[in-house]
Amino acid sequence: MKIDRIDVIRVLNPFRHPFETSFTRFVNRDALLIKIYSEGLAGWGECKSFYGPFYNPEDNGTVLHVLKDHIVPRILHTDVESPESFMQSVQMIRGNRLAKAAVENALWDLMVQRTGHSLKTLLGGTQNEIKVGVSLGMEGDINELLQEIDHYLSLGYHRTKLKIKPGADLSVLRAVRKEFPDITLTVDANSAYTLKDIDLFRAMDEFRLQYIEQPLGEEDIVDHAVLQKEIQTPVCLDESIVSYEAAEAAIRLGSCRVINIKSSRCGGLWEGRRIHDLCLKKGIPVWCGGMTELGIGRAQNISFASLPGFSGLAHDIAAADRYFERDITDPMVQITPRCTVEVPDDTGNIVYHADEKAIDSMAAGHWIWR
Ligand SMILES: [Mg+2]
């Protein structure tokens, strides 16, 4: 694929409900989109970084720098054979995987257009639809939380995930399990605990959770191995899985029994698929998490989650209108009445096109290299 021109477009898409985290308040999804022009076609990628380095070490500022000063000069006006060869050509750039993934994702989109095959086919996906779970914060009153869980269960969501933090964990779980003894329930600690809390996690075994997601720090792969040996509930690693090597180390050490693959954090779909293949071989169930992406990233997550290893567990891939009034694809990603998302395939029944009018209306910056 001869690379004729590369555009980066910054968009600001307001969240329907701005949300607070411990470090900031998110009002807009502030995202960088990559458009790569090649031989009359244009492929789109979405960078998953945020406006500041809060969830990932990279942010939109560092991504723009790495693209402009290091990636674009290496590939503009060259012939890139495949996403894999692109990844090899940027190997000397350490880390910066979100930046690499954005370009890599646009190359996959170009391959889809060149070959006429869906991303599912190109990746080797096997599923026609994938199961969707819901993820809920634990900020409010316990009765409100119980009502919220009831609401999503009535809609048919396949798994309920609760965000926990010190001070809002066991007591809430006890109340939820009392009301809903048999639902598929998980918790996500987003690294809020340390090994000193091991008794708390031992106590969670009685709640029969499907898994406990990222209880300890991102770099605590060894501590997670200690924890996993002490508890019956499977540990699921999310933040710790930043590369194939990290996944391999975690599996070898016994640090987890489930993995949440966010392919962009690992450098893109090609790298994500390698982790998927490793997990499939080692018998580790995987699922696909989200980073409040816009439609281009969301649609690629759906195709990625159609790989065979993703068939068991529910994914954090919501309908786009749960987060946004308007999105950047036409159509917007929707969920079925079965609480699944249908995977675009070669029949062309569903094709998510970049909605350039929507993108223009949200644009807050545009860089062009040709
Ligand atoms: Mg998580």
Q: What are phi and psi of 120, to 5 degrees?
A: -55, -50
Determine the pLDDT at residue 140.
73
Distance 94 CA to ligand 1 centre (A): 24
| pTM value surpassing 0.85 | yes
* Cα(334)–Cα(341) distance, integer angstroms: 7
Q: What is the pLDDT of residues 126-136, one digit of tens each?
A: 999 999 999 98
Catalytic residue among 262, 281, 282, 357: 262
Distance 238 CA to ligand 1 centre (A): 5
Q: What is the DSSP letter of 132?
A: B
Q: Which residues, given as ranges, of the chain have pLDDT below 50?
A: none
Nearest to 335 by CA among 290, 286, 302: 302
**2 is a catalytic site residue:** no
Q: Which domains does the chain have, with CATH numbers?
A: 5-116+354-369 (3.30.390.10), 121-353 (3.20.20.120)
Determine the pLDDT at residue 22.
63
Distance 289 CA to ligand 1 centre (A): 7
Helical H segments across the chain, by residue range: 60-66, 72-75, 83-89, 97-115, 119-123, 142-155, 170-179, 198-204, 221-230, 244-253, 269-282, 295-304, 356-362
Percentage of the chain modeled with pLDDT above 70: 98
* Strand partners of residue 46: 33
Q: What is the pLDDT of residues 235-281, one digit of tens each?
A: 999 999 999 999 999 999 999 999 999 999 999 999 999 999 999 99
277-297 as b/e, with b when 16 or more CB fall inside 10 Å?
ebbeeeebbbbbbbbbbbbbb
**163 is a catalytic site residue:** yes
Catalytic residue among 131, 161, 163, 281: 163
Q: How many CB atoms lie under 10 A from the CB of residue 91?
A: 8
